[in-house]
C-alpha cells in the first residue's frame, strides 16, 4: 500500500511520460510483443489506463519487468502470468473467460438470442394479425370531415 502511495506521489510531482526511449528493446520483434502485451495490462495506480499509455512510475516498472521476462525467453502467456501472480487478476484489462467471468462474456450473446427470439415472436404476431380494425369515425370526426370536404 505504501509503495502505491509513493508511486502515486511520484506521479503527481515529476511528470514522466508513457514508454520511454531507454525502455525500448533493441529486438523489434520482442518490442512489438511487449507493446501488444502492455496494452492489455492495467496501470494499478491510475484510473483506467494501460501501462502502455500511463506515465506513472509504477507503469514504467511494470513495462520494464514485462520486457525483462520477454528477454529472459518467456512466452507471452508466461510473461503475463508472471505479472498476474504478483499483482492479481486486477491488472488484466481483458478479463479471462474463467469462473464467474464467463457470465460477462456470455451476457451479450445470450441477450441477443433472447431479444432476437422476442423480436421474431413479435414479427410473427404482426404478420399474421388480422388487418387493423377500421374503427368508424366518431360523429364529431365525421362532422369535421364533412366540414373540410365541403369547404
* Span of 2-10, 58-66, 72-80, 83-91 interacting with other proteins by CB under 8 A: 83-91
* Span of 1-9, 57-65, 73-81, 105-113 interacting with other proteins by CB under 8 A: 105-113
CA 99/CA 148 separation, integer angstroms: 69
Q: Shortest gap between Cβ of 86 and other proteins (angstroms)?
A: 14
CA 10/CA 58 separation, integer angstroms: 9
Residue 41, all three cell numbers: 495490462
**DSSP string for residues in 39-79:** TTBB-TTSSS-BTTT--SHHHHHHHHHHHHHHHTT--HHHH
Q: Shortest gap between Cβ of 137 and other proteins (angstroms)?
A: 15
User: Which residues are at the interface with other proteins (CB under 8 A)?
Assistant: 12-13, 15-22, 24, 39-40, 42, 46-50, 53, 88-95, 99-101, 104-105, 107-108, 111-112, 115-116, 119, 122-124, 126-127, 129-132, 148
Amino acid at each position: 500500500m505504501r509503495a502505491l502511495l509513493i508511486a502515486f506521489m511520484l506521479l503527481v510531482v515529476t511528470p514522466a511520460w508513457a514508454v520511454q526511449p531507454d525502455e525500448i528493446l533493441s529486438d523489434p520483434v520482442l518490442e512489438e510483443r511487449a507493446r501488444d502485451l502492455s496494452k492489455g495490462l492495467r496501470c494499478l495506480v491510475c484510473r483506467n489506463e494501460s501501462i502502455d499509455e500511463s506515465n506513472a512510475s509504477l507503469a514504467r516498472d511494470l513495462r520494464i519487468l514485462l520486457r525483462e521476462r520477454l528477454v529472459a525467453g518467456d512466452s507471452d502467456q508466461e510473461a503475463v502470468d508472471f505479472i498476474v501472480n504478483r499483482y492479481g487478476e486486477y491488472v488484466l484489462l481483458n478479463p479471462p473467460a474463467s469462473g464467474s467471468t464467463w457470465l460477462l462474456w456470455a451476457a451479450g450473446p445470450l441477450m441477443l438470442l433472447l431479444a432476437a427470439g422476442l423480436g421474431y415472436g413479435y414479427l410473427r404476431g404482426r404478420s399474421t394479425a388480422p388487418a387493423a380494425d377500421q374503427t368508424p369515425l366518431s360523429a364529431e370526426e365525421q362532422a369535421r370531415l364533412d366540414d373540410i370536404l365541403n369547404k
